[in-house]
């Protein structure tokens, strides 16, 4: 029995995520791009994505349920066998529209393709037994008197230490909302660049947003308005990367909360702008557009290969007015001039993106939060040294953890009392021209004046940003 292309792709991506430490979203983008021929349907791409990310999101629960059938920890199996079992059980429990016999047979074929034919009988037997239990709640199989963090960690597939932290800080109800949100498929949010030129298109010069939405819908995509921003929209029914508008640089894929971060800088025409830790460049692009022809935008990153990817991205977006520099911003910065706008989008744990990048939850270690704190402090201090009087700086992460967010800002402000926070009123005023009519801007800031989103509250990634200024 041949294995469907979607399952082959998911199996190989999962193998590389586990064996090589690769990131599923990057691998899926490359694999699905390579299979973009008409014979590979959008339904196949959707199934490959669902299987890959679904298995990563539910990994702990899947292994717990498999261990019941195996009578030993699932992690002791050879990796190809374990992945075939995880994929099979995920389909049986969470994609019940797929017939059980097809799931069992193709899972056995996967281990044969991986040259583990001797394990095909095991895979067949385990999944047949699991298929008989799919209508039973996973909670029925938990031991009695299991601590709350352990129980929630198994049922919602998060490390127990994550759950313990969130329970202590957020309480049970909010933690449960966050755990559930992290296991949902995130919305595919996009942003329009309708001020760009429409080279090679027949929509006029430039096309209006309505024109572009019409083109997207004609290609079979379904469009919904964004929740927070006027230029944001949500796509379902396929990938916008296959549409000519994307290739022409008239739209990009970017979470709505991420889109807001550069807007907080309130860049004006002719501003000098420094974007540290800039790759992959999604936040750099609006800074370049806002600074205009008379502005200066310097985008820095410590990884040369990521800068090369940024150049390719900026070519698609027809952005030439940006200088890319390779440097480690945790060290003293080499610039003689100061900048009146600086973005520090700091490397972080990424706990605000666990639905989009589920492998993070299995890789992150508790001690890394302290390491990210030290890095964040160094980045922010170095950036503030380059901020011109009267200038504005935004420090941001896609983390939910205090060590990487407010504790970094508090430590730095303690040592640099001349720096002050921008008031919520002034920060919100920078966002006002960009917000959708139904967005409640005050709800995006906490009592201390920090911008903050959480997947527990909004269908976005979790972001933090502090807006600072130098008198």
What amino acid positions are annotated as catalytic residues? 398
- Pairing type for strands 387-397 and 464-469 reads antiparallel
Smallest CA-to-CA distance from 340 within 393, 293, 288 is with 393
Smallest CA-to-CA distance from 420 within 449, 447, 451, 459 is with 449
How open is the CA angle 68-70-75, to the nearest 5 degrees?
Answer: 100
Q: How far is 348 from 465, CA to CA, in rounded Å? A: 13
- Residue 322's contacts (CB-CB under 8 Å, 6 or more residues apart) are 284, 288, 297, 298, 299, 314
Smallest CA-to-CA distance from 24 within 55, 51, 52, 63 is with 52
């Amino acid at each position: 029995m041949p294995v469907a292309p979607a399952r082959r792709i998911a199996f190989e991506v999962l193998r590389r995520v586990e064996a090589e430490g690769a990131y599923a979203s990057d691998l899926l983008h490359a694999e699905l791009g390579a299979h973009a021929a008409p014979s590979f349907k959008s339904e196949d791409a959707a199934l490959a994505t669902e299987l890959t990310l679904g298995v990563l999101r539910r990994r702990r629960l899947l292994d717990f349920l498999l261990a019941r059938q195996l009578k030993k920890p699932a992690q002791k199996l050879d990796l190809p066998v374990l992945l075939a079992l995880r994929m099979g059980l995920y389909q049986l429990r969470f994609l019940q529209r797929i017939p059980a016999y097809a799931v069992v047979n193709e899972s056995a074929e996967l281990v044969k393709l991986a040259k583990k034919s001797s394990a095909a009988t095991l895979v067949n037997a385990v999944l047949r037994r699991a298929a008989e239990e799919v209508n039973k709640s996973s909670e029925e199989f938990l031991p009695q008197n299991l601590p709350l963090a352990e129980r929630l960690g198994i049922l919602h597939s998060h490390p127990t230490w994550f759950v313990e932290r969130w329970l202590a800080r957020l309480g049970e109800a909010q933690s449960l909302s966050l755990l559930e949100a992290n296991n949902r498929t995130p919305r595919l949010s996009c942003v329009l660049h309708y001020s760009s030129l429409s080279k090679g298109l027949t929509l006029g010069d430039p096309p209006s947003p309505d024109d572009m939405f019409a083109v997207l819908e004609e290609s079979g995509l379904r469009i919904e308005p964004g929740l927070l921003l006027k230029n944001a929209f949500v796509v379902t029914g396929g990938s916008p990367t296959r549409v000519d508008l994307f290739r022409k640089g008239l739209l990009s894929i970017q979470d709505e909360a991420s889109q807001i971060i550069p807007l907080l800088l309130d860049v004006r025409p002719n501003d000098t702008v420094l974007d540290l830790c800039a790759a992959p460049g999604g936040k750099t692009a609006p800074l370049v557009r806002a600074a205009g022809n008379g502005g200066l935008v310097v985008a820095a990153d410590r990884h040369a290969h990521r800068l090369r990817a940024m150049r390719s991205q900026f070519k698609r977006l027809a952005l030439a007015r940006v200088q890319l520099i390779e440097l480690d911003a945790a060290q003293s910065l080499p610039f003689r001039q100061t900048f009146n706008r600086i973005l520090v989008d700091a490397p972080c744990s990424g706990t605000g993106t666990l639905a989009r990048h589920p492998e993070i939850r299995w890789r992150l270690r508790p001690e890394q939060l302290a390491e990210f704190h030290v890095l964040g402090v160094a980045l922010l201090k170095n950036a503030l040294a380059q901020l011109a009087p009267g200038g504005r700086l935004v420090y941001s992460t896609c983390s939910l953890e205090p060590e990487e967010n407010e504790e970094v800002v508090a430590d730095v402000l303690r040592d640099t009392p001349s720096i002050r926070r921008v008031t919520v009123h002034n920060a919100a005023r920078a966002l006002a021209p960009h917000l959708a009519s139904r967005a409640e801007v005050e709800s995006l800031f906490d009592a201390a004046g920090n911008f903050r989103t959480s997947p527990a509250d909004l269908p976005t990634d979790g972001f933090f940003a502090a807006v600072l200024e130098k008198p």
